[in-house]
Chains A and B, each alone.
Chain A
Amino acid sequence: MAVATTVAKSYLSFARVLAASFLRYHPDIPFFVLLADEVDDCFVPAAEPFRLLRLADLKIPGLADLRFRYSQQELTYSATGYLLSHLLDRGFSGAAFLKQESLVLGDMTDVFSTMDHHSIVLVPHLLAPLPGKEGIARELNILQSGVYNVGFLGVSGKPCARAFLTWWQDRLRDHCRHDVPQGMHFEQRWLDLVPAYFDDVHILRDPGFNVGHWNLPERDVRLDGDRVLAGEEPCRFFRFSGFDPDQPLAVTKYSSRLTMANAGPAAELFARYRTLLEDAGYSETKGWPYAYGHFDNGVPIPGAARRFHRELGDRSAQFGDPFQTGKPGSYFNWLNEPIDDRSDPFGTITRFWRAVYDQRPDVRQTYPDLCGADREAFITWTEQFGIREHGVAERFLVHPSRPAPRLRSVQLRTCESTLGVNLAGRFASEKGIGEAARSLERGLAAAGIAYVLNNYEDPLSSNEERTLTGFSNASPYPVNLLCADPVAMPAFTALHAATYLAGHHNVAHWAWEFSDFPRAWAPYFEHLDEVWVASTFVQQAVAKVSPIPVRTVPYCIRDDLHARACGPDVTLPADRMIFLFAFDFASHFARKNPLGLVRAFKRAFGRHDDVLLVLKCARSHLAPADLARLREAAEGARVEFIDRVLPRQQVLSLMRRADCYVSLHRTEGFGLTLAEAMDLGKPVVATGYSGNLDFMTASNSFLVDYRLVPVQQNWGPYTEGHVWADPDLDHAAALMRLVYEDRARAQEVGRRARQDILARLHPRVVGEHVGRLLSAATGGGVRAAV
């Protein structure tokens, strides 16, 4: 008699615990552990409480392919047949397999005796029907995963058992995976056929044997000192299938039905098991790497690549060892080759992604014309979702004809000072671009990063913001950080490439608002090493087109917002609830959508006397027709226009007075005024779309439903064909009414908003983030002062 289990290295602690528990009751029965992995010096086999077997010991045909084609879990399970055959070959009269996450709690002699009398011993998941609707659902789970549980399997040396193992191990070479619609659940569902194929099968019907999460409610597990009981019977073998010691409140990751709270006395058993695992070195072993997880260039092997190799069957032989990447005809290189001769930089589909496409019926349904009309959309899907859904390293996104990421070696000019940042921007502008530049300055200052300010006047601004002074013409530091609009790049680089940009690590913080970035603007990345943008929404848009890294660096709030003295106030009635929105006609009337806001406000409040919508706008002279439409829409409702440029102080004053800030924008790159309103503790009603979702949630603001609609006209750089949001005006009206009627809730939301904004957008938080990015980019060249 011999007993065995199988583990990958990271599960060695489980093997140790199982072996120790078994040997406690059966010290004379050899306990083997099959390592579906490589030792790689992580442990000393001779020092373990079990005998180690390796895959190579089992004479598995095609082992090299198997190690590549199966995931860690699949490989572990697929070797079970060969393992048992091997033990019988070694002369043991019988062999039993115990699955790794188990504990032996009592003497198993009678079970082993059964194995003397029968060729095969199987243990079912359930012994009796389960009551009620939930019972049917649990029974269906069993039908999906197998009538018998492979946590325990016993075989004798008789011909019937040998025939079973020969058949089973063969099936597991290609069909040991989870695919319920195909009739597969790893190695376990195959066992359903055993009572039909073989007549010397014993079904073990002991309720104390093989107790696990699937039958726990029926087994009445109790602890009596050291003894564990299942009903009146001793519980001799307990299965902790799917138990994760790092998630100890969950009984199993395979089902959320059971929690430790409703597991009854068995919860104590799980706690003991966890302690045993910790004592057996779980924290250390869980981090041991899987030997068959990476190509030899270090790139993790995606499951889709494994599966594709398996599906190629014999044709995969041409690649040789699939783990090797170096040679020209390697599987890795073959996967990354284009499927056709589309040569444009952003239109390449590689064989790998084609394989993923073939494996995903839902993706095929969404992009039916892969090589034609849906080509670009599919490629975008791979970048936005495909890599995440399939656990694929970015290496698989490097299409051969896409510009390779530029790694410029920065030859730093002799620096006059220690390392820091040359921050260039329009610091005097009252517009958003000025705010962005001042925000970056606040972040650098709060994090103690050295910098100079290189100022550029914006001819289209009033340039009355004088919060920052002390500008310099010098750029002594190795890093340039330009705060700009992308369209300003050509002019800037034309003037300054040689004198300012050359020899520096150049970062541009770009303002952008849409979900797509114009591919025609690809030249703007020239001379830059990184692009920073204010939100993940914009990051995703720009990353689709950018050959250089794109990072999210949000704007930060002022930390003296509340301490700032109130200047001459704008007079607003004291007895009305004020809804406020501030916008610039030049930053596009259509995008800011004040028209929608006015309509929604009217729907919400009609001619109510105790509310007021204040629209703070600027530069209406640029769009008189729009202003006229707005005024006309506002007739009959309580709307007040403040149509002039106000100093920042007074804008803040307005915001402090407001009871609620509203923005029904169609798209925002960030939404700094929204963040500032939240920082002031105001409830904010805003479209639940685009950049503001980085800091707005359903708990800290009131998000308005929307649908996506095409951008109808050319709005400057925003070409037709893009989409943006059309907020639901009825929903917006309902939310404004909610704020009006439920003041307590609105205030609570505002309090939460301020908390969240402080946590995310405080200058020190953003500044530290900037510091980390710059350190990483320059190899530690920028250090924040402690």
Chain B
Amino acid sequence: MTRTAVGTIVAKNFVSFARVLADSFRRHHPAVPLFVVLADEVDGCFAPSAEPFHLLHLRDLAIPDLASSRFHSTREQVAIASKPYLLSHLVERGFERVVFLDPDILVLSDLTSLFDEAGRHSVTLTPHLLKPPSAAEGVNRELNILQSGIYNAGFIGVSNTQRARDFLVWWRDRLRDHCRRDVAQGMFYDQRWLDLAPVFFEDVHVLRDPAVNVAYWNLPERDVRLDGDRVLVDGEPCRFFHFSGFDPDQPLAVTKYASRLTMADAGPAAELYAQYLRLLDAAGYQETKAWPYAYGHFDNGVPVPDLARQIHRELGDASTGFGDPLRTAAPGSYFNWLNEPIDAPRDASMTITRLWRAIYEQRPDLRRAFPDLTGAGRAAFLRWTAEFGVREHDIPEHFLGWYARAAILSASTNRSASPGGDDIAARVG
């Protein structure tokens, strides 16, 4: 019997999705192990042994410089970039066929034929679209796909061959520093790199089965019907459905990635979304969604802004002097370094910190609006940090200087008392 394994990756807040996926998978393949990589820490939120899946930690996956890459990446990027390591890990453990599935997938029927096909090739991919969309807005959908990748990274099949290993090594190397969204540069996380796979590596199979990886992007071309317990696609049993971008707290929206789509557009599949919502609820979505991300805060409780991760990454070797970037207490800590002033103004309350200067240097519009950070320009820039900077860059208010916070305070006390003003008053002084 060919040894097969399936894997997915979640942070703690997506554990309910992993449960639903695992349960749906076990219904059809009770003997095939399903592994869940936790791109996070358990931190006592749940009991791994009680879950319907095998738990793996990031540290089990032989990811080099894990502490560093965890800090440099957003939560999403940490999960995505560990994908090739998960597949390698399972192949090294002796599984001959390994399939990665995104956590927001529901298995709906037997996947044996899918496993067989994946086992016949080194790498198996599924395209987002199998044929040109016919409707007028079809061009925009195609352009979307051209921007984000021909093949969907929510399904990857690999078998135990040298070519598969070569692919995984190349892919994880690309994801180390080039796993982000920057369409103009040709990047869309891990997914756009897959466009090159069928050309770079022989024996990459493009699986063209409409019953596989049905999702919002190809719904218009696939005839989805519910027939009692079964879900059919173009008359054939649907293998799995991919609820990409579905937010259980916004159940009327099909996906957060295409706001124009509503459940009315989903046709019979809308019922499937409703079922999925109930499954997630039963799997503890309301509880799990609030579980905190272990690598999301400094040890003083301040959330780590994405910008801080980016600055640390760009420092390269120079960042090693800070030690663990999440530790704040030491004088030479990264947190303190970010909050150090860039100069010594006469009025010490008007400090501009390294963090805000980094933003200034990234934003040509700010440099035009505040060309001179001395004198009046400085005060105006500091006011900007409080009024707009924190929101635009998602910076916790802890990074605001005294002057900026006082500016908000005086602005809000000049208006009638507002809750926001009171909060700031509580923090300042």
Contacts and interface: CB of A to CB of B under 8 A. Distances in A.
B304 interface: no
Interface stretch (B142-150, B347-355, B393-401, B405-413): B142-150
Nearest to B372: A707
Interface stretch (B26-34, B37-45, B182-190, B261-269): B182-190
A53 B145 CA distance: 35
Interface string B125-148: 001111110000001001111110
A52 B277 CA distance: 62
B216 interface: no
Interface stretch (A34-42, A83-91, A141-149, A440-448): A141-149
Contact of A366 (B130, B186, B199, B368): B368
A183 B183 contact: yes
Interface in A170-197: 171, 174-175, 180-184, 189-190, 192-193, 195-197
A470 B144 CA distance: 79
Contacts of A129: 170, 196, 200
B208 A126 contact: no
A140 B129 contact: no
B186 A127 contact: no
Interface string B332-351: 00000000000000000000
Contacts of B143: 175, 182-184
Interface in B178-226: 178, 183-187, 192-193, 195-196, 198-200, 206, 208
Given A193-B142, A193-B146, A203 B199 contact: yes
B199 A124 contact: yes
Contacts of A175: 139, 143
A468 to B, nearest CB: 47
B128 A196 contact: yes
Contact of A126 (B147, B200, B368): B200
Contacts of A572: none
B150 A142 contact: no
Interface residues of A, number: 35
Contacts of A140: 178, 185-187
Interface in B145-187: 145-147, 150-151, 170, 174, 177-178, 183-187
A679 interface: no
A126 B196 CA distance: 9
Given A129-B170, A144-B185, A183 B147 contact: yes
A679 B127 CA distance: 70
Given A143-B195, A196-B130, A136 B186 contact: no
Contacts of B185: 140, 144
Interface in B348-389: 365, 368, 371-372
Interface in A9-58: none
B206 A195 contact: yes
Contact of A196 (B151, B183, B184, B192): B151
B199 A192 contact: no
Contacts of B206: 195-196
A142 B184 contact: no
A33 B366 CA distance: 52
A501 B371 CA distance: 48
Interface in A199-231: 199, 203
Given A183-B144, A203-B198, A196 B129 contact: yes
Q: Lowest 8 CB-CB distances: which A-B pairs, in order?
A: A183-B146, A143-B186, A196-B127, A144-B186, A183-B147, A124-B199, A140-B186, A183-B143
9 contacts: A126-B199, A127-B200, A136-B178, A143-B195, A144-B185, A144-B186, A184-B143, A184-B146, A707-B372
Given A128-B200, A181-B147, A182-B147, 20 more contacts: A124-B199, A126-B200, A136-B174, A136-B178, A139-B196, A143-B193, A143-B195, A147-B196, A171-B142, A174-B139, A181-B183, A182-B143, A184-B143, A192-B150, A192-B195, A193-B132, A193-B145, A193-B150, A196-B130, A707-B371
Interface of B: 127-132, 139, 142-147, 150-151, 170, 174, 177-178, 183-187, 192-193, 195-196, 198-200, 206, 208, 365, 368, 371-372
